[in-house]
Amino acid sequence: MRALVLRLIEEVAESADCTLISEINDNTVLLESGLDSLGFAILVARLEEELGRDPFTENDEVIYPKTLGEFIAVYEQ
Amino acid sequence: MTLLQIIRQHPERPLLISDEGTFSPAALCRDAEKIRSLYPELAAANIALQFTHPAQLLLHLIALDGYARRILLLPPCLTGPAFENVISESAADFLLDATGLSTLGLDRPKGAEFDASEWLFTTSGTSGPPKVYAHTLCSLSIGVKPRQTPYCWGLAYQAHRFAGIQVIVQALISGSPLVASGTSETGKQAEYFLQNGVNALSATPSQWRNFLIHGSISRCSLRQITLGGEIADQAILSALRRQFPKARIAHIYASTEAGVGFSVTDDTAGFPEGWLGEGPPTDMKISDSDTLLIKSPAISTSASLQGRRSSDGYLDTEDCVRINNGRVCFIGRASGVINVGGNKVHPEEVENLVREIPEIQNATVNARNSSIMGQLVSLDVQAGALSDEERQALKEKIRQHCRAHLQNYKVPALINFVDTLEVAASGKLVRKGC
């Protein structure tokens, strides 16, 4: 999952013309990673294409992750 | 004059060529008379016609114009509550279809004499139930000259539709042959047009793109090309000009509600900025929200349009426009925009830009639901057979082209390659989620 997310972050950054910060790890705050909110939306849509699910529409109580680690955790649930 | 009276005056040569047979004016008149004598109860009645094959619909239309009071042209596949609605709205007493005549159970007293038959059309009903609007042969043939033209018209639209009837009326009044096959499949239609010498064709830009992709249309010696029903972008106008250097190419803007239309024949998308103002062709201006306003004495007074009429008599067409290099260009419908985090995107603007790329055969922009931004722009492209590497390269090219011309929220977030794009029976491109 982590590898997929990281690969798609790079792909989305390239396609959305965002420059990623040099080192991205679990503590990286998503919106400080270089992806803007549109890029983040595209990442979620691309993940849905790959995994067939969008965890942000599955629950009534959506928890929006702040860091990359939290983001991956949402998908691993 | 009725259709029958007009056709009777034409010289003997094939007037209707179809896979149900070839008909001369005399043969059409004979068959029409036969239909009249078969159904005396239809005199001055309100009748609904529902035929799949265009030739059948045409024969009955010729027979009933000036004979029945009201002729409702039903889509072949209309059934259920939508069918019932339209029948009751049009007060049809009878239904005539391939199985024959049936009474709709309403025993209405016949009214007084009537001047001309009303032809009733249904709207496509993409938003809400279909509605009925009326014309007469006279109102449909404004601007059609009764003299013979060198044209042989192909019928690319379904015959019961307003756009189809316009082609039919054009051919029948001018006495030009009309070629109508029962198929709506692009390839088969094009082959049929080719076999039967079609040199004049009216279709939507989406249909034209499919004709060009299919290829066989290029062997038709087209002299008259008409585009209507959707925005004609520069890419399709230029592609048609390259393919048919000598043809007259006209793209039509028509507002059914305003009862006006005009055609543009200078091979350029949009229309000249100088046409704004009092006209000609018609009195137009641009609203504060960038939609085209049209003033016309013919504006329908229907209640549903009340909110779209200004105090000084203009109707808001809800077609969004933008002035660009002295041209007023259409960018899409005010409804049907994609909302990306509060920013509005007209699908047509993105599609037209993507179609500028030579490798792209056709493109559709759909709204893709997003749990983060509400909606995202999703692009389906048709580009023929490509390897994975070629697809990746083309994706990148599309993105670069879009980024160079569009704000970032309009750039397609997702790009998919598809074999075909869906075109509705109306000839218009089908967009999902918009």
Q: Which of B366, B370, B409 to mutate against chain A (most A CBs within 10 Å)?
A: B370
Q: Quick check: B370 and A15 CB within 8 A?
A: no
Same structural domain, B14 and B138: yes
pLDDT surpasses 80 at B199? yes
Question: Which residue, B180, B209, B237, sits at the end of a domain?
Answer: B180
Q: Do residues B311 and B374 share a domain?
A: no
Q: Do B98 and B9 fall into the same domain?
A: yes
Q: Is the pLDDT of residue B299 over 60?
A: no
Q: What is the mean pLDDT of residues B55-70?
A: 96
pLDDT at B205: 92
End position of a domain, from candidates B147, B180, B213: B180
Expressed as residue numbers, the domain containing B383 is: 336-417
Torsional class of B215: left (φ above 0), alpha (ψ -120 to 50), beta (otherwise): left
User: pLDDT means per 10 residues in chain A (77 residues)?
Assistant: 93 87 90 87 93 82 82 90
DSSP B88-121: HHHT--EEEETTEEEE-S--PPP-S--SSPEEEE
Which of B373, B395, B396 is opposite residue A41, by nearest beta carbon? Answer: B373
Shortest distance between the Cα of B394 and any Cα of chain A, in A, equals: 12
By C-alpha distance, the chain A residue nearest B372 is: A41
For residue A45, the chain B residues in CB contact (below 8 A) are 368, 370, 376, 413-414
Cα B260 to the center of its chain, rounded Å:
15
In this structure, are B176 and B286 located in the same domain? no
Distance of CA B350 to the CA centre of its chain: 22
Q: Which amino acid is it at B382? A: Q
What pairing do the DSSP bridges indicate for beta strands B132-136 and B118-122?
Answer: antiparallel
Of B376, B403, B411, the CB nearest to A41: B376
Selecting from A15, A17, A56 the residue whose C-beta is nearest the C-beta of B371 gives A56
Beta bridge partners of B369: B375
How much is the pLDDT for B127?
52
At B303, is the pLDDT very low, low, confident or very high (cuts 50, 70, 90)? low
Confirm if B211 and B194 have CB atoms less than 8 A apart: no
pLDDT at B354 over 60: yes
Could you tell me the pLDDT band of residue B47, with boundaries at 50, 70 and 90?
very high
The reply to whether B328 and B365 lie within a common domain is no
With CB atoms and an 8 Å threshold, state whether B370 touches A44.
yes
CATH classification at residue B281: 2.30.38
Domain A2-76, classified CATH 1.10.1200, yes or no:
yes
Order of strands, edge to edge, in the sheet holding B118-122? B100-103, B94-97, B46-50, B70-73, B118-122, B132-136
In a domain, B134, yes or no: yes
Question: What are the Cα distances from residue A27, in Å, to A5, A46, B339?
Answer: 15, 22, 32
Higher-confidence residue of B415 and B295: namely B415
So what's the pLDDT on residue B222? 97
Q: Are residues B357 and B300 in the same domain?
A: no
Based on the fold, state whether residues B307 and B340 are members of the same structural domain. Answer: no
Judge if B34 and B74 occupy the same domain: yes
Alpha carbons B259 and B255: distance in angstroms, whole number: 6
How many other β-carbons are positioned within 10 Å of the β-carbon of residue B369?
14
The two structure tokens encoding residue B126:
């993409």
Q: State the nearest Cα–Cα gap between A15 and chain B, in angstroms.
A: 7
Which residues of A lie closer than 8 Å to B, measured between beta carbons?
A: 15-17, 37-38, 40-42, 44-46, 49, 54, 56-57, 62
Looking at residues B44-63, what average pLDDT do you find?
95
- B342: confidence class by pLDDT, cuts 50, 70, 90: confident
Whether the CB of B371 is below 8 Å from some CB of chain A: the reply is: yes
Residue B61 lies in a domain: yes
Q: Is the peptide bond before B54 cis (omega within 30 degrees of 0)?
A: no
Tokens 């047979």 correspond to B21
Bridge partners of B119? B71, B135
Question: With 70 as the cut, is the pLDDT of residue B93 above it?
Answer: yes
The confidence score (pLDDT) of residue B312 equals 82
Stretch (H or E) spanning B252: strand B248-255
Tokens of B409: 């929220």
CATH code (residue B349): 3.30.300.30
* Mean pLDDT of all residues belonging to chain B: 90
- Considering only A53-57, B88-92, B355-359, B383-387, which range has the smallest mean pLDDT? A53-57
Instruction: Give the pLDDT of residue B293.
Output: 93
Helix, strand or coil, per DSSP, at residue B417: strand
Q: Strands B46-50 and B70-73, how do they pair?
A: parallel
**Tokens representing B219?**
């062997």
Contacts with A46 from chain B: Cβ below 8 Å = 414
Which tokens in the block code for residue B368?
């893709």
Cβ-proximal residues to B113 (8 Å cutoff; 6+ apart), any chain: B44
Place of tokens 């103002």: B277
Q: Indicate whether B304 pLDDT > 70.
A: no
Shared-domain flag, residues B323 and B377: no
CB B198 within 8 A of CB B224: no
- Sequence ranges of the domains in chain A: 2-76
Model ipTM over 0.95: no
Amino acid at B137: L
- Domain membership of residue B137 (yes or no) is yes
Same domain as B311, residue B171: no
Are residues B331 and B342 located together in one domain of the fold? no
Chain A residues whose CB is inside 8 A of the B399 CB are 15
Number of continuous H segments (helices) and E segments (strands) in chain A: 3, 0
Q: How confident is the model at residue B134 (pLDDT cuts 50, 70, 90)?
A: confident
Q: Does B37 lie in the same domain as B164?
A: yes
Domain count, chain B: 3
- Determine the distance in angstroms separating the CA of A56 from the nearest CA of chain B, rounded to an integer: 6
What residues contact residue B343 under an 8 Å CB cut-off, 6+ apart? B407, B409, B410
Residue B310 lies in a domain: yes
Q: What is the maximal distance between C-alpha atoms in chain A?
A: 35
Q: Dig out the tokens for B181 from the structure.
A: 């096959």
Res B400: pLDDT: 93
**Which chain A residue has the Cα nearest residue B410?**
A38
CB B384 within 8 A of CB B361: yes
* B323 in contact with A, Cβ within 8 Å: no
Flag whether B430 is in a domain. no
**In one letter, which amino acid is A33?**
S
Amino acid at A16: A
Note whether B121 and B165 are within 8 A (CB).
yes
Question: Is it the case that residue B108 has pLDDT exceeding 80?
Answer: no
B281 preceded by cis ω (within 30°)? yes
Helix (H) or strand (E) holding B414: strand B414-417
Which pLDDT tens digit goes with each residue over B242-270?
999 999 999 999 876 676 789 999 999 99
Chain B contact set for A17 (CB, 8 A): 403, 408
Among B298-302, B311-315, B400-404, the minimum mean pLDDT is found in B298-302
Distance CA B297, CA B6 (A): 28
DSSP H or E run through B203: strand B200-203
> Could you tell me if residue B306 is inside a domain?
yes
Distance from the A25 Cα atom to the nearest Cα atom in chain B, whole angstroms: 22
Which residue in chain B is spatially nearest to A13 when comparing CA positions? Answer: B413
Q: What is the mean pLDDT of residues B161-178?
A: 93
Q: Is the pLDDT score of B86 beyond 70?
A: yes
In 3-state terms chain B splits into helix, strand, coil percentages (rounded to 5) of: 30, 30, 40
d(C-alpha B153, C-alpha B170), whole Å = 9
